[in-house]
Amino acid sequence: MINRLIPVADRLLGVEEYYFSKKLQEIDELNRKGERVINLGVGSPDLAPPENVVKVLIASAENPQNHGYQGYRGIADLRNAFAAWYDKYFNVQLDPEREILPLMGSKEGIMHITMAFVNKGDEVLVPNPGYPTYAAAAKLSGGTVKTYNLSEENGWIPDLKNLGKTNLSKVKLMWINYPHMPTGAIANREDLRNLIAFAYKNNIILVNDNPYAFILNETPLSLLENRTGEDHVVELNSLSKSHNMSGWRVGVVAGNPRLIDRIVQFKSNMDSGMFLPIQMAATRALEEKSDWYEKQNRTYAKRSVFAREIATLLNCSYAEVTAGMFIWAKIPAEWDSAESLSDSILQDARVFITPGQIFGSQGRRYIRLSLCSPKEDWQAALKRISSIRKEIKDQKRKRA
Ligand SMILES: Cc1ncc(COP(=O)(O)O)c(C=O)c1O
């Protein structure tokens, strides 16, 4: 039988396999050979979700009535719980019927929003550095990526004055993500108001992707606090990081009801509702009191001390005040790129640290350390990196 290669669809040509999907295979391979790689790269919380949430999931899954297809807009309890959560923590009042749509994680929301609004030839503004999925979704939809640079000098906040001088006539959608991943930058209320005004003036849909609002962040802010009825503004949120539920796939898109309707129009053709026990457990998770977030943050704060110690050991510099579950650190001049630093640490110390260029060219002189590993891993990573420091110096000397 002749086995002919079937060409993939054109839309896949501009999109590479997700960096972590490839890197994790490499790490798995090393681990299979008996190496014990310490992974300080991936932002998947290792801490447990709230105890009662798991109990609700189990009890609900035991009910044979709870295994059928679900409605396309999620159960009312979950929408009400998201509305109460936004009210309590962000001081944003949302209509649970029309302004809230539960999602299977915010990542799918990025795709659905893009597919619902972006045509071939439309442009999508994505941050550089930024979460790679914004650009991937734009390309998959047939749209064109227009990156906007963020820089340390500008506090990783968009330079709207300069952006406003470029041709924005084809831009349909703009992604922002504050607190920002990977840099940990925090936008204040004025920044968010300016962004809304900018989007309104240029007739652009503005989306804030907000999964890190509760991690090491004193004042969770929502873009929706500043909306008016006419703005084309929505926000994504997620239980992945706030409640240590990344594998559960629970998120939400909230905001302008006309946009939400169009997102449902696309999404309802993609899935058939979220498993009811997950929705019921997520409802419970959203009822957690503020001490839940405080407890997580005490752990993250301790880990961030280790992460900064490692950054210092590697002669990297970093900002003192950031939010989110990563430390973003600038590599010293001796290294030609963050990737060579990351590869060298993986090779010599069996510690994986994410090189910043996977988030865009503006990240090429930075590394990102994830706070999702236990204390023992941080201690071991510190030891391993201290012991190879001399080798690193020798390598750098050789390169020079
Ligand atoms: C900025 C950003 N947005 C979205 C996501 C995806 O979150 P979710 O698990 O809700 O799909 C991540 C995950 O790492 C992220 O860093």
Q: What is the CATH number of the domain that holds 115?
A: 3.40.640.10
Domain of 264?
A: 51-288
Same structural domain for residues 284 and 324? no
Which two three-digit tokens encode residue 87? Answer: 């009210």
Ligand 1 close to Cβ of residue 240 (< 6 A): yes
Q: What is the CA radius of gyration of the chain?
A: 22
Q: Is the separation of the CB atoms in 123 and 356 below 8 Å?
A: no
| 2 located within any domain | no
| 7 located within any domain | no
Same structural domain for residues 384 and 235? no
Q: Tell me the C-alpha distance between 187 and 209, whole Å.
A: 12
Q: Which atom of ligand 1 is nearest to the CA of 250?
A: 10
Same structural domain for residues 140 and 209? yes
Rounded alpha-carbon distances, angstroms, from residue 353 to 138, 144, 349, 393: 27, 30, 11, 18
Rounded alpha-carbon distances, angstroms, from residue 321 to 61, 298, 301: 42, 15, 11
Q: Tell me the C-alpha distance between 377 and 10, whole Å.
A: 43
Same structural domain for residues 233 and 98? yes
Q: What is the pLDDT along the chain (400 residues), one digit of tens a residue?
A: 666 888 889 888 888 777 777 888 989 999 999 999 999 998 999 999 999 999 999 999 999 999 999 999 999 999 999 999 999 999 999 999 999 999 999 999 999 999 999 999 999 999 999 999 999 999 999 999 999 999 999 999 999 999 999 999 999 999 999 999 999 999 999 999 999 999 999 999 999 999 999 999 999 999 999 887 667 999 999 999 999 999 999 999 999 999 999 999 999 999 999 999 999 999 999 999 999 999 999 999 999 999 999 999 999 999 998 999 999 999 999 999 999 999 999 999 999 999 999 999 999 999 999 999 999 999 999 999 998 876 666 666 555 5
Same structural domain for residues 137 and 273? yes
**CA 165 to ligand 1 centroid distance, Å:** 31
The total domain count for the chain is: 2
**CA 107 to ligand 1 centroid distance, Å:** 6
| 10 located within any domain | no
Same structural domain for residues 58 and 168? yes
Q: Which atom of ligand 1 is nearest to the CA of 130?
A: 1
Same structural domain for residues 295 and 283? no
Same structural domain for residues 308 and 259? no
Interior/surface letters 155-168, b for 16+ CB within 10 angstroms, e for the rest: ebbbebeebeeeeb
Q: Tell me the C-alpha distance between 228 and 394, whole Å.
A: 58
Query: pTM of the prediction?
Result: 0.94
